[in-house]
Amino acid sequence: MPSHIRSAWLRTLGMLLLLLLLAALLGWVAGHVWAFVTVAALAVVAWHYWRLRKVLLRLTARERLAPARGNGVWNELDRLLHRSQSEMRRRKRRLVNLLRAYRAAAAALPDAVVVVERNSQRVQWFNKAATHLLGLDYPNDIGAPIGTRLQPLPIPRWLAEGRNAEPMLDAASPVDPNLRLNIRLIPYSDDHWLLVARDVSKLLRLEQMRRDFVANVSHELRTPLTVVHGYLDMLDPQEFPEWTPMLAEMQKQSQRMTQLVEDLLTLSRLEAQDSLPDESVAMAPMLATLRREAEAISQHRHQVIIEDHAGVDLWGSNKELHSAFSNLVSNAVRYTPVDGTITVSWKRKEDDGVVLSVSDTGYGIPAAHLPRVTERFYRVSTSRSRESGGTGLGLSIVKHVLSLHQARLEIHSEVGRGSTFAVHFGPERVHPRDRHPTHTPSDNQIA
């Protein structure tokens, strides 16, 4: 206990004892000692109740009351309450100012921000951008179900996924179908979620322009490359011995440019598709074809191992899946030294899905490069990629093919020990293998 409060307590106690002693003396003089002491005690109790009432009034009053002057314990209590109330008011002002600053910042954001109550899925608050991006109206939509206000977007089903909800990368705005939105769900507390919508119309238009440009340029390059390649084939190196190295290099670069154009056209075609027709993909012939292709690229300089432990087939596009798997296998062969091992494994997963993994004992990929290896033209080692004949687009094609099959690619690599590229398919893509197929796709059909 602080010294000033202790002294106030002792002073009040001393005054109480002095008052009772004075009452006893007056009662002794008057011949009624206990009567005077009782009256004095009742007066002290009444006075304390009156001071207690003043304390309660101070606690419940909304106006600011100055503390009473004096040195008693009740005066010290008044001063403590006044100080606590002043500090509380200051904290409240700071919190209110912070809240106003956060609301002003959220209101100024170009992205739509909506606070949604988790259990009821009702709107608690939204900023100005939510009005022209999502069509929410203040204050009519406060407390309204978010699903009914954002129709025809599948918001209720999306919110039901909670923390596992995937972002809507391209959703039409309820206000204008030509307005394309990127919508994300951020569960920032147990009771409230944050729905953030961003206008990506310009980005998507620019992306479409880029796709059209790449597709058109690649298509236009086909004809001149074919002509150049044809004339190079007509030149016989034996007739021009001094030109032999130049002709060989020109043919090599011509073939490389032709492959680059073909890969760009493949990427453009895949990006223009939202889905692929599903057909039964027989994995036994597919794995056999991958083995033959790997051995042809390797020219028997590597050991190729095929492990078929799943015993199931896939639903998907035979052509596109073969293209993706073949890219992974050819990369494994190209980036594995002679006498290395390439293992293609087809296994079941615990969730009834399947995984096709391509492992090698090659050079490996540094961890810093792993997040970017599926980007277009991204090369871990430029010189090594060009020596192997790669275009830098193979893994981009793989990523797009897998995206159209709702599959995902996992990459694990260690420098000097090799890499593993694992393709994971969900249970919905799996079906039992037909032990006696009526028709087995040939290698040409698979390719």
Domain borders along the chain are: 3-103, 109-199, 206-271, 279-446
pLDDT in the model for residue 439? 41
pLDDT in the model for residue 157? 82
Whole-model pTM? Answer: 0.56
C-beta separation of 117 from 94 below 8 A = no
pLDDT mean for each 10 residues of the chain (447 residues)? 68 80 85 85 85 76 66 74 82 90 83 90 90 89 90 84 81 89 88 90 83 78 82 79 84 82 80 80 93 91 92 91 93 91 93 93 88 80 54 84 91 91 93 61 36
CATH of region 109-199: 3.30.450.20
As a whole number of angstroms, the distance between CA 133 and CA 179 comes to 8
Q: HEC profile for the chain?
A: CCHHHHHHHHHHHHHHHHHHHHHHHHHHHHCCHHHHHHHHHHHHHHHHHHHHHHHHHHHHCCCCCCCCCCCCHHHHHHHHHHHHHHHHHHHHHHHHHHHHHHHHHHHHCCCEEEEEECCCCEEEEECCHHHHHHCCCCCCCCCCEHHHHCCCCCHHHHHHCHHHCCCEEEEECCCCCCCEEEEEEECCCCCEEEEEEEECHHHHHHHHHHHHHHHHHHHHHHHHHHHHHHHHHHCCCCCCHHHHHHHHHHHHHHHHHHHHHHHHHHHHHHHCCCCCCCEEECHHHHHHHHHHHHHHHHCCCCEEEEEECCCEEEEECHHHHHHHHHHHHHHHHHCCCCCCEEEEEEEECCCCCEEEEEEECCCCCCHHHHHHCCCCCCCCCHHHHHHHCCCCCHHHHHHHHHHHCCCEEEEEEECCCEEEEEEEECHHHEEECCCCCCCCCCHHHHC
Fold of 279-446: Heat Shock Protein 90 (3.30.565)
pLDDT in the model for residue 445? 35
Task: List, edge to edge, every strand of the sheet that includes 279-281.
Answer: 279-281, 312-316, 430-432
pLDDT in the model for residue 348? 93
